[in-house]
Copies of this chain bind each other. A is one copy, B any other.
Amino acid sequence: MKLSKEIHKELYLKMVQTREFEETAARLFVEGKVHGTAHFCTGEEATGVGVCSALEVKDYILQTHRGHNQGIGKNMDINKMMAELLGKATGYCKGKGGCMHIADFSVGSLGANGIVGGGMPIATGAALKQQYNNEKNVTVCFFGDGATNGGAFHESLNLASVWDLPLIFVCTNNLYGMSTHINRSMNIEDISIRASGYGIKSISLDGNDVVKIYEETIKAKEYVLKNGPMLIVLNTYRWMGHSKSDPQIYRTKDEVKEWKEKCPVKRHKKYMLKNKIMSAVEIETLEKHAVRDIKAAVEFAENSPEPQIENIFDDVYAD
């Protein structure tokens, strides 16, 4: 598979946008402009961006609490994402959900989830609907390493397998569930092993290799449409704390440093330069674009109105 320059451009731009989004959002927290909590995916950009860029609008995704890369990958509107983070009326959830609940049904995102593993059962339903209607589209469900220890994981993979659903389960393994290293939460060499309990295929990939992730997603989509679900494990690392208040005493600075050297953004840049896909100038232009986009998003968000108290009862029930 040889990716076009356009694709590389898209992947790189989205990764840099994600990086910039997270760093900016973190700053907004420190400045006290955001209340509540948020979970940043810095260091994991390649996962959501690589997977989602390989999808079509009609492919669904279920996002996680750490899913800005997934949203940006699926072409969500960055302005509305940022506005939601700031709790504004123009945000994806009209300020009611915050970044743990961003969703954009118009681009195929069925929502992030505050419950670890909460999206997995829902993904089986979305994929069932696709199968029921003979659609040629698939559902992709994101979740973390920690989520694979919960009952929802088991029940969902099993049901998807029994029903041959067109569903790609994507595990972002960043080695930790909060402070708990996978060595203390499971007893297996590689998370992909878990697929065997359901008789489904799985692969385990370098989660910082956006190109490979993109390629494998394309293949996986074809595969699951024919054969039913599969599991993709993307091995990566979270650079920042679990959430804004994490003192990170459960891991060493060296470990973090080591992983920062494997930066997925830099890696893709190097790859493109080496393979002469884009020039340094072109890349720099993209980076500037990204910075500009995020700046614009913050402006949009900051200038947006707060939700009105009169609307507080909206959307509790559908008509």
Contacts and interface: CB of A to CB of B under 8 A. Distances in A.
Interface of A: 149-155, 158, 161-162, 184-189, 193-194, 196-200
Nearest to A164: B187
Nearest to A195: B197
14 contacts: A149-B155, A150-B151, A150-B155, A151-B152, A151-B154, A154-B155, A158-B186, A158-B187, A161-B187, A162-B184, A187-B198, A188-B196, A189-B199, A193-B199
B155 A151 contact: yes
Nearest to A198: B187
B198 A188 contact: yes
Nearest to A189: B199
Given A162-B184, A196-B196, 7 more contacts: A149-B154, A150-B151, A150-B155, A151-B155, A158-B187, A162-B185, A187-B198
Contacts of A152: 151
A56 to B, nearest CB: 27
A100 to B, nearest CB: 22
Contacts of A187: 158, 161-162, 198-200
Tallying the copies of this chain within the complex gives 2
A73 B93 CA distance: 58
A181 to B, nearest CB: 11
A13 to B, nearest CB: 38
A151 B199 CA distance: 17
Nearest to A158: B149
Contacts of A197: 188, 193-194, 196-197
Contacts of A186: 158, 161-162, 198-199
Nearest to A161: B187
A187 B149 CA distance: 20
